[in-house]
Amino acid sequence: MRFLGFILILSAAFGFAEPASFALNPVCVAAGIQTIRLNGITAYPGPAPYLSTRDFCKDEPATMPAPVRAAVVQLGGIHSRVAQYLGLSISQLLGEGAAVVLGGRKTGALDSKYALGAISLGVFPDWNGEPINESIYVHELGHLLSMKPNVHLPPILISLGSNPLMMETFADFIDLAVTGSVFEPSRDVPACAWKTRNVTRSQSYDSPKQFFETTYSKAAILSCCRWIAQRGWHTDHTRSLCEAVPKAFPETAGLPFVLDRSKVFDPRDYLSGNGYFDPHRIGIPFNSFLLDVRAELGLEPKAVFYDALTGAKSLADVLRKMRERVPAEKLAAWDALWKKHAMTKFEAMARDSAN
């Protein structure tokens, strides 16, 4: 998943959560991290098994390498912000803690995922304590929250975490709420790559069909790479990323970054499988709608969407409960925004897809 969980995510090595039968490093405990491992980081040479199996949360604080400690502290700050947003403590949010792997990858943070109980966060192989990409990490943390049972979270999250309409949409929702972005530029991510996952207040389900398809994000990142190359602005990291992407997706190497506006998105295409739709893109107008609701109606997305998850039995039920939470005097404005973002199309998909 992503973000990037992101459409460009490549396969990555990841660690596995394990019972906390040992005394964890107090730095890890405070940060809400159960295990943290490194893989493919050149600053920590040694046999691969050593790199992938050493759990730095078992180190004494005095022996934990400074770069790893800095990463743990940064992750702890992120966990604190997410927990605070949801009205929880870090221990309520993460239980015994998150399992994290920092993996050296040619594409850096774009090669990140949550799988088998662990967040595998891509960094470049020369990583040595530089700040991680918070937006990408929070997105992956969103997947953890919607896929790992937790009595402190709405039960429906588990089913939404496997629903193609919501699996990436919820992760982006948390990301936008905590970091303000779903694609934060950093040393790992070229600034122009924001075009692949940007969420604004103007997006709707009346966008062209191609906007929601997998080729769009691929073409966008390749367009970004060409733009950087033409201006001679490549760094070692952007060059590494831009050399790796065409090799991974050769079928899109020559695609122009131009939307085909001849066919508007139709939910029947999505429901029938008529197209290669990207779950990372299908929820963009949904989150765009929530941004608009906050700006125009003064209603916070958490109160409108997240709090509506409590007691809901299906995604269609969530959408109904969202409207019920709107004050009567704001319903007309809510309905106008619902129409602006063509949310009836999302309703149709929610009704007919697995919840």
**pLDDT tens digit string along 279-307?**
999 999 999 999 999 999 999 999 999 99
Give the pLDDT confidence score for residue 1 in this predicted structure. 52
Instruction: Let me know: does 196 contact 220? Beta carbons within 8 Å.
Output: yes
State which H helix or E strand residue 270 sits in: helix 267-272
pLDDT band, residue 251 (cuts 50/70/90): low
Find the mean pLDDT for residues 92-112. 92
**Token couple for 289:** 């709608």
Q: Where does the pLDDT of residue 216 fall: very low under 50, low under 70, confident under 90, or very high at 90 and above?
A: confident
Region 49-59 average pLDDT: 75
Residue environment code for 104-115, b if the CB has 16+ CB neighbours within 10 A, otherwise e:
bbbbbbbbbbbe
Query: What's the rounded mean pLDDT across residues 26-39?
Result: 95
What's the pLDDT score for residue 195?
67
- Coil, strand or helix at 113: strand
| Contact status, residue 17 vs residue 207, Cβ threshold 8 Å | no
What is the pLDDT at residue 255?
A: 65
Cα gap 323→308, rounded to integer Å: 9
Residue 16: per-residue pLDDT: 36
Mean of pLDDT values over 180-194: 74
Please list, residue by residue across 54-71, b when 16 or more beta carbons sit within 10 angstroms of its beta carbon and e when fewer do: bbbbebeeeebeebbbbb
Of 220 and 318, the one with more pLDDT: 318
According to the model, what pLDDT value does residue 355 have? 42
Q: With cut-offs at 50, 70 and 90, classify the pLDDT of residue 49.
A: very low
pLDDT value, residue 183: 78
Place 261 in a pLDDT band, splitting at 50, 70 and 90: confident
Checking if the pLDDT of 225 tops 70, the result is yes
Rounded mean pLDDT, 57-81: 94
Q: What is the pTM of this model?
A: 0.88
pLDDT value, residue 14: 33
Amino acid 354: pLDDT? 52
Residues 6+ apart with CB under 8 A from 218: 7, 8, 245, 249, 252, 255
Whole-number pLDDT of residue 13: 32
- Report the candidate in 152, 39, 22, 135 with the shortest Cα–Cα distance to residue 87: 152
More confident residue, 338 or 17: 338
At residue 107, the pLDDT reads: 86
What is the reported pLDDT for 45?
A: 60
pLDDT for residue 96 is more than 70:
yes
The mean of the pLDDT values for the chain is 86
- pLDDT at residue 318 in the model: 97
Average pLDDT over residues 154-176: 95
pLDDT of 48 above 60 = no
pLDDT at 8 over 50: no
Q: How many Å is the maximal CA-CA distance in the chain?
A: 65
What percent of the chain has a predicted confidence (pLDDT) above 70?
Answer: 86
* 210: its two tokens: 């191609």
Predicted local confidence at residue 221, as pLDDT: 83
The yes-or-no verdict on residue 136 having pLDDT over 70 is: yes
Give me the pLDDT at residue 302, please: 97
Average pLDDT over residues 205-227: 87
d(CA 5, CA 143): 9
Distance separating alpha carbons of residues 191 and 296, to the nearest angstrom: 28
